[in-house]
Amino acid sequence: MNLEYVKRWGWTANPFTLIINPKLFTGYESQVHAVLEHINNKHKIALITGSTGAGKTTFLKWLDENLRDYSTIYVSKPPQTPEEFINIFTDIFGLTFWEKLFRKKLSLYTLPKYIEKKSKHHLVFLVDEAHETNKDVLEWLRVLTDQIKGISLVIAGLPVLEAKIKGDLETLNQRITTRIELNSLTKDEMRDLIKKRIESISGTEIEPFTNSAIDKIYHRTGGFPREVLKLCDRLVNTAVEKHLDKISAVDIEDHREVPRSNVRLDQPVVTFSPKPPSDQQLINLPYKQKRILETLNKDDWLTPTAIADILGIKSYKSRSHAIRSINNILHRLMMEGYVQRESRGKAYLYALTPKVKTLFVEK
Ligand SMILES: Nc1ncnc2c1ncn2[C@@H]1O[C@H](COP(=O)(O)OP(=O)(O)O)[C@@H](O)[C@H]1O
Ligand SMILES: [Mg+2]
């Protein structure tokens, strides 16, 4: 970390990196409204398009975190094979002994019935980077949403995705009832993006930027989120080099930013955020389950192994027994809406759902 930031403005980090934090999401009001309407009306397929850096991923993750009346699944990119596709759901909902026995039989054709049986609440399936996939996969997604009663699908991708669907996938095209485009923020929304970021690292409002600087940043970037962040990043670094405490319009040169290509993760990330339980249900939980929740209240995003190590394994036959048992309990807690899960490849990380987190704070 750059100590100059701290000295100059009291910051604890650089606020203008391209990290994705749904808590910093702002603006795009009409688009947010359209997607919420779509989901609340239990509509089937919504399509979000926008160029790289417009905010698609942040928007989907914001939905994943804020749709508290629904269970949501977020996948950072579409599955590529039928097996991967099926695994997303069996990894979340699990298989009973009998289902394991007949595992071979779970196919793209039986998957809808399986999901319908397992999913207790209306499910919102959020699929990111959908332009990266082929016709077949998009068609599976369409069939899945057609056949499951309680599911809404929100797919996001680059603008080429819409052209691809229009050209090749007429049925899917007809099923899309909500289409939104993320383009750029208004000047006020852009100011809020900057302010939220600065305040999130203990800074004050839009300091060091003056209002004239905000006008100029807007003029230069058109309010396109990624360009705003890149420009702000350069401006604060230059200010540090030149020992400036303030950044005003005269400090901002006139040339335009050159867009940069997208950075991608190799491992798909799948997040499942279940619909949370009622307050009464929480009070009635058994002791072991409560201890796990308390552990997760102290520390977010832990693996079952980390939890076993924190809680100790005294009451179990061995460490691996403890881990397996905790794993089972976590799965149950997830299905009942106490904890959410994120998987990266083979690793699972657990955290309290936002509502349960609030209940703990209130206690
Ligand atoms: N509406 C927004 N509010 C706050 N930050 C945003 C918004 N849109 C985008 N950003 C930020 O801009 C950067 C690029 O956004 P991202 O979601 O990765 O775009 P995309 O997925 O469309 O390529 C991220 O750091 C993100 O947090
Ligand atoms: Mg993205």
The answer on 159 and 211 residing in a single domain is no
The answer on 307 and 234 residing in a single domain is no
The answer on pLDDT for 153 being more than 90 is yes
The answer on pLDDT for 172 being more than 80 is yes
pLDDT digits (tens, 9 = 90+) for 173-194: 999 999 999 999 999 999 999 9
* Residue type, position 81, single letter: T
- pLDDT value at residue 5: 75
- The two structure tokens encoding residue 129: 């980077």
User: Domain for residue 179, yes or no?
Assistant: yes
CB of residue 17 inside a 6 A radius of ligand 1: no
C-alpha–C-alpha distance, residues 298 and 294, integer Å: 7
- pLDDT value at residue 101: 76
The answer on 156 and 8 residing in a single domain is no
User: Domain for residue 267, yes or no?
Assistant: no
The answer on pLDDT for 221 being more than 50 is yes
Look up the pTM and report it.
0.82
C-alpha–C-alpha distance, residues 109 and 351, integer Å: 33
Q: How far is CA 352 from CA 48, 173, 301, 303, in A?
A: 28, 37, 8, 13
- The two structure tokens encoding residue 133: 């996939």
- pLDDT value at residue 257: 44
Segment 251-264 shows an average pLDDT of 50
Q: What percent of the chain has pLDDT over 70?
A: 94
Domain containing 197: what range?
3-14+185-251
CB of residue 265 inside a 6 A radius of ligand 1: no
* Residue type, position 294, single letter: E
Confidence of residue 244 (pLDDT cuts 50, 70, 90): confident
The answer on 244 and 300 residing in a single domain is no
Q: Which of 205, 234, 251 is the last residue of a domain?
A: 251
The answer on 49 and 167 residing in a single domain is yes
Confidence of residue 63 (pLDDT cuts 50, 70, 90): very high
User: Domain for residue 23, yes or no?
Assistant: no
The answer on 180 and 35 residing in a single domain is yes
**b/e map of 210-237 (b: 16 or more CB within 10 Å)?**
beebbebbbebbebbbbbbbbbbeebbe
Indicate the average pLDDT of the chain. Answer: 88
Find the radius of gyration of the CA atoms of the chain: 23
Segment 88-117 shows an average pLDDT of 84
Q: Which of 145, 160, 184 is the last residue of a domain?
A: 184
The answer on 191 and 304 residing in a single domain is no
- The two structure tokens encoding residue 290: 């409560």
- Any idea what DSSP says for residue 242? T
Q: Which atom of ligand 1 is nearest to the CA of 54?
A: 22
The H or E element spanning position 113 is: helix 111-118
Cβ proximity of 169 and 135 under 8 Å:
yes
Confidence of residue 23 (pLDDT cuts 50, 70, 90): very high
Question: Would strands 347-352 and 339-344 be described as parallel, antiparallel, or unpaired?
Answer: antiparallel
Task: Domain count for the chain, please give it.
Answer: 3
User: Domain for residue 361, yes or no?
Assistant: no
The answer on pLDDT for 145 being more than 90 is yes
| CA end-to-end span of the chain | 36
- Any idea what DSSP says for residue 253? -
- Which ligand has an atom closest to residue 59 CA? 1
The answer on 34 and 133 residing in a single domain is yes
- The CA-based angle 250-253-258, given to 5 degrees, is 150
The answer on pLDDT for 97 being more than 80 is no
User: Domain for residue 219, yes or no?
Assistant: yes
The answer on 45 and 164 residing in a single domain is yes
Nearest protein CA to atom 14 of ligand 1, as residue? 53
User: Domain for residue 100, yes or no?
Assistant: yes
The answer on 141 and 37 residing in a single domain is yes
User: Domain for residue 151, yes or no?
Assistant: yes
Q: 115-119, 123-127, 164-168, 312-316: which has the highest mean pLDDT?
A: 123-127
C-alpha–C-alpha distance, residues 13 and 1, integer Å: 6
**Is the sign of the CA dihedral 128, 130, 132, 136 positive or negative?**
positive
Confidence of residue 363 (pLDDT cuts 50, 70, 90): low
Confidence of residue 28 (pLDDT cuts 50, 70, 90): very high
The H or E element spanning position 272 is: strand 269-273
Q: Which atom of ligand 1 is nearest to the CA of 51?
A: 22
The sheet that has 123-127: what strands, in order across it?
A: 176-181, 45-49, 151-157, 123-127, 71-75, 269-273, 339-344, 347-352
- pLDDT value at residue 2: 65
pLDDT digits (tens, 9 = 90+) for 107-124: 888 899 999 999 989 999
Cβ proximity of 153 and 141 under 8 Å:
yes
C-alpha–C-alpha distance, residues 333 and 354, integer Å: 14
User: Domain for residue 149, yes or no?
Assistant: yes
- pLDDT value at residue 216: 92
C-alpha–C-alpha distance, residues 316 and 323, integer Å: 9
Q: Which of 184, 207, 232 is the last residue of a domain?
A: 184
CATH number for the domain including 141? 3.40.50.300
Residue listed under structure tokens 């704070």: 361
CB of residue 225 inside a 6 A radius of ligand 1: yes
CA torsion angle 59 54 155 69 (round to 10)? 10
CATH number for the domain including 190? 1.10.8
CA 310–ligand 2 middle distance (angstroms): 35
The answer on 170 and 108 residing in a single domain is yes
- The two structure tokens encoding residue 215: 């006008």
| 3-class SS of residue 59 | helix
CB of residue 56 inside a 6 A radius of ligand 1: yes
The lowest-confidence range among 65-69, 97-101, 162-166 is 97-101
Where does residue 337 fall: left (phi above 0), alpha (psi -120 to 50 degrees), or beta otherwise? left
The answer on 160 and 52 residing in a single domain is yes
C-alpha–C-alpha distance, residues 290 and 55, integer Å: 37
CA 55–ligand 2 middle distance (angstroms): 7
The answer on pLDDT for 267 being more than 70 is no
